Each structure stands twice: as C-alpha cells, then as structure tokens.
Structure 1
Amino acid sequence: MLLTACGGGGGDKSSDKITSTQPVPTATSASPSASATMTVNRPVITFPGDAKNVFEDQHTGDPKKDAVLADNEQMVDSIYSAIIQGNAHTSAMAFYSKGLALGSAATFVQGWVNGDASWTGTIRWFHRKVTIRNDNSAVVVYCSDESKAYPKSRKSGKIDRSASNTASYVLYNTRLEKSPDGVWQTVNLVSQRGAKACKP
C-alpha cells in the first residue's frame, strides 16, 4: 500500500498531467497556522513519536501566501493523522478539506483502515509554490518524499520496507478556497507518483 494521498478520483493518479502553469479546476501539527485568527477554533492534530510530516518552504515573505501554505500543511497532517487514528471521517479532515478533496481523502484513508494498516517514519514535503488567484482561491503545487516512511500493520506492528524508492517521490497540485472564517480549505487535489519534477 502506497502512502500517496488522494488523487482527483481517489488513490494514486500516476497518469495525471500536472504543471504549475495549469492548475486543476475547482473540485500537522498542533501548532496554529499563519492564517489562524482568535475567533477560529481549529482542531488540534497530533502524531505519535514514530511518525511525522516535515514541511519546507513555509515562509515566502507574503503573509497571504504563508497563510495558504500553513493551511495546506494542516490539510496534509489531517489526512495522515487520520490514517494513524484509523478514522476516515475526522473533524480535522472536514475542517481543512471539502467537496471532492474531502471525499477522495476519506476514500484514501478508508483504504488504509480496511487494510488494517497505519504508517511510520518521516514524509518530507518540499518545492511548495503558491499562486493566489483573483476569485478568492489559491493553487499550491508541491512534492513529497516518502522514501523514509513505511506502511505498518496495526495488528502485528510489522513494518513493510519493500516500497520502491523510484516511486517515493510524488507531485501534487491542489486548489484551495478561503472559507468565511478565513481558513484556506482544499477543494481538489491530484497527484502524480514518480514525477521527475520531484526526484533529486
């Protein structure tokens, strides 16, 4: 079972064509994001000691773009925390995703639940680029490196280290929309496993 998060139709979408110039159409940590306000009650997302997401490119110098990136982090964390919890319908997932993105995320997590699997290790998220659009939406294109993260059996605790390093790099293209309370929610997400743009 691969760690790649939900694609446009659920699961890995290795055939998707993703470029930063053609964003997809509309479809963590416990620390508060840069877009947090005193009036927003954000869910707390935690991980056990053997699993973590590490995010690069957190600060662009533009407060609005930084807020988008911060909520992108929380969206990612909400999904990978849900896998560990064994719950495809967490409040954190519904807080940071909606529409097609939330539906495919739930399907993705449920696949892990059905397989009685969790994960361990470190996933690195990098090359994160933000484009703010005029319709109160944003596009975030980014990569992940799963070469140091592995599926783990819930029942036995056995870790599967057989995943191919060639398939460990994934390119993502996401669209986000700003909610009335100021949260940048992901509304669509597609992914391309093994993307050359993400390989070292």
Structure 2
Amino acid sequence: MNRRPTLLAALALTATAALTLSACGSDDDSTAKDNDKIAGADTNKEKSPSPTQSASESGGRPKITFPSDAKNVFEGGKTGDPTKDAVLSDNALSVNSVDEAIFKGSTDTKALGFYNAEKALSSSITYARRYIDGNDTWTGVTRYFNRKATLSGDDKAYVTYCSDESKSYIKSRKTGKVDKSPATSDSYVLYNTALTKNAAGVWQTTDIVSKRGAKECQP
C-alpha cells in the first residue's frame, strides 16, 4: 500500500498558486505509516534520467545518494523551455533530498536545506523525523508523473505532479522487515508545490500541498 506519511500538507500556498494549482486539495492525515511524499516536473511521456543517485551536481550542488534497494523515477522533465526544465529538475532534487535524509537517518544533510526553504523545509524536517523516530525507512520504486511547471515572473514557479507508491514499501530499519501491503487508490498522491529561485540560481521548494487518493492521479 502506501509507504509514506503524507508530506504534512496544509502549507499555505500564495493566492497566485491557488489560482494556478486549483486542481489540488490538501491532505491533513498525519498518521506515521499511512501517507506520502514530495517531488516534481513535467507531463511528457518519455522518461528522463532520475537524479536519484547522481554522482555529483554542477555549481557546487551537494551529492544525493540512495541505498541500492530504493529509487525515485521522474517521468518527463524536458519541456523545451530551459527555465521550466530547471524548475522541474530542482523540484525532483528536492524530493530526493528528503528521501536521502530518511535513508541517512538524519535531517542534518546538505541537500535538504539546499533544495528546500521556508515552510517546505520545516515540513520536510518534521516529515523525515517521523521516519527516523519510528526507526523506519522505505524500499522499492516510487514513480513521479504528470509533472507540470508554471512560471510566475523571473523567480517564482509552481509545480504539480502525481506519485505512484504502489511499488514502494515501508521497511523497518531495525529488523529489515518490509510491509508489502497491497496497493489501493491511496497509493497515488497529487502534489502542488511552490518554488523560489534563490541568489545562487537554485529553485528551492518553499511550499507544498498534497492529496492522497486524488482522482487525477489514479491509473
């Protein structure tokens, strides 16, 4: 079923975001093993390489590493617009940075604060801590699809996307036991995120809202 608690939802997006991302609602469920995640980019059917285990990033960007039994796959990402592509890439790295914190068992990682800021950072820390404090991690593959970026001026953007958690599972860090509950409609989550381009040119995720079981993301 679901491996993630939903990423603390109910973060207030701006009025502009609310208009841009009107398709989404928030999910207030905070049950530790029941809900969701984070992530981002565009609707193309073709798959772009996942930045999950990139050896190194340009421009002094921190390296993000995953264990061999876990992977995020981001579909799309190439829109033909270099700015939108950069937004989608950094949003995907934001997702990966949160998962890396879970895998490392620490929220004191370089990538977490590099790709996330403001409300999204505090929410991501709380989210990762719920895994860490519960002595859990996850395994398998999470797929991100229907990724769309919308620009607002030179330094603001919004990304919507869906996640498919039907093939990713909660794993006990202590025993190694994997909870392979069957997939349900709640294995699919809709995300709305807000991003701001910082002085270093990084599109940081600053706000996020998620809705588990959203009809827009069902197979």
Q: How does 1:102-117 map to 2 (within 5 A)?
A: 102-117=121-136
In structure 1, runs of 5+ residues without a counterpart are 11-17
Q: Give the equivalent residue in structure 1 for 2:213.
A: 194
Contact 2:137-2:172 within 8 A present in 1 as well: yes
What corresponds to 1:15 in structure 2? none
Report the counterpart of residue 127 of structure 1 in structure 2.
146
Please identify, of 110-119 and 79-88, the stretch whose mean Cα deviation from structure 2 is larger: 79-88
The aligned residue for residue 152 of structure 1 is: 171
Report the TM-score when normalising by structure 1.
0.85
Q: Counterpart of 2:54 in structure 1: which amino acid?
A: S
Contact 1:4 1:170 survives alignment (8 Å): no
Whether 2:45 is the aligned partner of 1:22: answer no
Q: CA 1:162 to 1:54, structure 2 compared with 1: closer, same or farther past 3 Å? A: same
State the match for 1:3 in structure 2.
4
* CA displacement 1:27-51 (0-9 Å, x = unmatched): x424389xx76xx210000111110
Residues matched between the structures, number:
186
Contact persistence 2:193–2:207 (CA under 8 A): yes
Counterpart amino acid of residue 208 in structure 2: L
Deviations 1:60-111 (A, max 9, x none): 0110000000001100000111111111232101000001000000000000
CA shift, 1:115, in A, is 0.6
DSSP-derived class of the 1:162 partner: coil
1:139-198 CA-partner distances (Å, limit 9, x unpaired): 000000000000000110000012542210000000000011110000000100000000
More moved, 98-107 vs 158-167? 158-167
Q: Which runs of 5+ in 2 are unaligned?
A: 12-17, 25-50
Instruction: Within 5 Å, give how 1:10-159 maps onto structure 2.
Output: 20-22=20-22, 28-31=51-54, 40-134=59-153, 136-159=155-178
Q: Which residue of 1 aligns with 2:45?
A: none
| RMSD over aligned Cα atoms | 2.3
Partners of 2:19 and 2:184 in 1: CA distance: 23
Q: Is the 8 A contact 1:8 1:188 kept in 2?
A: no
Q: How does 1:168-187 map to 2 (within 5 A)?
A: 168-187=187-206
2 CA distance for matches of 1:132 and 1:19?
13
Give the direction of change, closer, same or farther, for the CA distance of 1:178–1:32 in structure 2 (3 Å limit): farther
Could you tell me whether the CA contact under 8 Å between 1:9 and 1:104 is conserved in 2? Answer: no
* 2:188–2:214 contact (8 Å) kept in structure 1: yes
Calculate percent identity across the aligned residue pairs.
48
DSSP-derived class of the 1:49 partner: coil
Give secondary structure in 2 for the equivalent of 1:53: strand
Q: Is the 8 A contact 1:23 1:139 kept in 2?
A: no
Q: Determine if contact 1:68/1:130 at 8 Å carries over to the other structure.
A: yes
